[in-house]
Homo-oligomer: A and B are copies of this chain.
Amino acid sequence: MSKVKVSSFSVSLDGFGAGLNQNITHPLGIRGLDLHQWIFKTKKFHAMTGADGGETGVDNDFFAEGLEGTGAWIMGRNMFGPIRSEWPDNNWKGWWGATPPFHCSVFVLTHYPRKALEMEGGTTFHFVTDGIESALSQARKSAGSKDIKIGGGVSTIRQYLAASLIDEMHLAFCPVILGRGEALFTGIDLCKLGFKITEHRNTSEVTHIRFKR
């Protein structure tokens, strides 16, 4: 049966899932990229960007598995782009170029309506203005029996967590401190939500933790 999952989401040791001050040159906020170094080294990421090489092993396995079986994505507007308030035009088409790596429907949470945007490679961005439950309902229809991924950012994951709508999470705890940023868990009681740690794998890069409920 279709599940709602977070995969390969990186967290700093001081609890932040992104840096501050996201903008066009800092898609993940100041120093946010430091959290994703483990991904950039994997063979799977290399392949996704058309490059040869990259490392195999546990990090690669987790990253690759996190992309499998996905029928739809949901993301916050800030994960889609740096533009705030009204869309000035239709020129911004995400951070990922003409062929985004999703290859299915992606539901973007926003307060500002915009027409769906069909990209190459099977990705269509749908802009959802009536809340997280509507986005999930649309994603479920689109995904069929496949899984739905909550891509991020922090605020989006927190909203779905707080609403008890996430079934599984794979987080990668990185040996990085950001000092400031967007805190993932502050005020969220993972135990009360029913999560348990079901897998714990250390690599030289990160600590992979799988939570299920």
A interface list, Cβ under 8 A from B: 13-15, 171, 173, 175-180, 183, 185-186, 188-193, 195-197, 200, 202-204, 207, 209, 211
Given A173-B207, A202-B207, verify A191-B186 contact (CB < 8 Å): no
Q: Are B175 and A179 in contact (CB-based, < 8 A)?
A: no
The CA of A150 and the CA of B196, in the complex, are separated in Å by 31
Please tell me which one of the listed residues B183, B196, B209 contacts residue A13 in the complex, with CB atoms under 8 A apart: B209
8 shortest A-B CB distances, which residue pairs? A179-B191, A202-B202, A175-B200, A179-B189, A14-B185, A177-B190, A15-B15, A207-B207
Q: Are B185 and A189 in contact (CB-based, < 8 A)?
A: no
Q: 20 extra interchain contacts, Cβ-Cβ under 8 A, other than A177-B196, A179-B189, A183-B186?
A: A13-B171, A13-B197, A14-B15, A15-B15, A15-B186, A173-B207, A175-B197, A175-B207, A176-B197, A177-B195, A177-B197, A177-B211, A178-B191, A179-B190, A179-B192, A180-B189, A202-B202, A202-B203, A202-B204, A207-B207
Shortest beta-carbon distance from A198 to chain B in Å? 11
Shortest beta-carbon distance from A61 to chain B in Å? 16
List B contacts of A173 (CB < 8 A).
Answer: 13, 173, 207
Counting chain B CB atoms within 10 Å of each CB, which of A13, A197, A203, A207 scores highest?
Answer: A13
List B contacts of A196 (CB < 8 A).
Answer: 177
The CA of A21 and the CA of B110, in the complex, are separated in Å by 41
The CA of A186 and the CA of B185, in the complex, are separated in Å by 10
List B contacts of A179 (CB < 8 A).
Answer: 189-193
List B contacts of A15 (CB < 8 A).
Answer: 14-15, 185-186
Shortest beta-carbon distance from A167 to chain B in Å? 16
Q: Are A175 and B209 in contact (CB-based, < 8 A)?
A: yes
List B contacts of A203 (CB < 8 A).
Answer: 202
The CA of A191 and the CA of B189, in the complex, are separated in Å by 26
Counting chain B CB atoms within 10 Å of each CB, which of A177, A190, A191, A192 scores highest?
Answer: A177
List B contacts of A193 (CB < 8 A).
Answer: 179
Please tell me which one of the listed residues B178, B186, B197, B207 contacts residue A186 in the complex, with CB atoms under 8 A apart: B186
